[in-house]
Amino acid sequence: MSVKIGYLGPKGTFTKLAVDAAFNGDDKISFKTIPQCIDAVNNEEVHIGVVPIENAIEGTVHLSIDYLVHQVRLPIIAEIVVPIQQNLLVHRDFAGELLDIKEVHSHRHAIAQCQQYIHKFLPQATIHYTNSTGSAAEMVSANGNPIAAIGNTLAAEEYNLNIMEENIHDYPNNHTRFIVLAKNKELVKINHSTDLERTSLLITLPEDRAGVLHQVLSAFAWRKMNLSKIESRPMKTGLGNYFFIIDVDEPYDDALFPGVQGELEALGCKVTILGTYPVYKLACK
Ligand SMILES: O=C(O)C(=O)C[C@]1(C(=O)O)C=C[C@@H](O)C=C1
């Protein structure tokens, strides 16, 4: 059986680079948006979906986490981390200078990763947000105007663009985490080794209970469980209502995690496990 893998496309996105680094051979199907990709896994149009979740410079990809929490709950089966290098891509026929570029197109995370570069070298350009860096590159290749896209070298290749400036992201240690979603975890086969396992929890706090966040964190702290991320997001039910995503750098087990869950539930919290999964730090071609 050929395993169908959905990803945030079109061709030439960073998500495609992550998919190519992790999976070989299988059917790879691009989706225009993150929700469309997640829906496709849920509707069983594809077996696996890969979407970005967090970037080292710009932080969480809110669209992915919010869609997973509020719209479609699918388990996280694995995580792929790849290095991110942003480049300024222009049409093959563009022969001007940086100051001739009227518009810069890209995904909002890519624009944010190059904020200082744009501020310094492209102050005249207007910013246009796209669904992905790949769709920005596609747009530039179809357009003769003096415009540019921010994206990777695969996009330059796929859309026959010139790389006008390389490595334009503002901070050198740039990586993005991608999550792998699937209903059947047996279909997710990543042939790389890893010694890191992570568990992601969704926690909602009881209303108006002084010090409860401190108590939540202590439940992990005294068990010496290593948290790699804590993030709050609006519940979308009114001002001041938030949920927390907590990543623990340990696989789910039958002792510590049920202990934490019981303790948090006794405090009036609601705890949901979003996934317990291996983390693969991979290089891209
Ligand atoms: O637009 C792409 O190429 C994507 O895969 C999305 C995305 C993101 O959402 O963060 C992925 C990696 C980079 O951080 C920039 C953009």
- CB 113, CB 174: distance < 8 Å: yes
User: Over the stretch 148-167, which tens digit does the pLDDT of each residue have?
Assistant: 999 999 999 999 999 999 99
Tokens of 265: 């539930």
Q: Of all atoms in ligand 1, which is nearest to the CA of residue 136?
A: 1
The confidence score (pLDDT) of residue 1 equals: 82
pLDDT digits (tens, 9 = 90+) for 24-83: 876 999 999 999 999 999 999 999 999 999 999 999 999 999 999 999 999 999 999 999
Residue-wise pLDDT for 223-234, tens only, equals 999 999 999 999
Q: Which domains does the chain have, with CATH numbers?
A: 4-83+174-183 (3.40.190.10), 87-165 (3.40.190.10), 197-276 (3.30.70.260)
Residues with CB under 6 A from ligand 1: 8, 13-15, 52, 55, 61, 84, 107, 109-110, 132-134, 176
- Look over the chain and give the mean of its residue pLDDT values, rounded to a whole number: 96
pLDDT of residue 47: 97
Query: How far, in Å, is the centroid of ligand 1 from the Cα of 265?
Result: 36
Q: What pLDDT shows up at residue 206?
A: 87
Instruction: List pLDDT tens digits, range 131-140.
Output: 999 999 999 9
pLDDT at residue number 63: 96
- Mean pLDDT of the region 269-283: 97
Rounded to two decimals, what is the model's pTM? 0.96
Minimum mean pLDDT range among 27-31, 54-58, 177-181, 209-213? 209-213
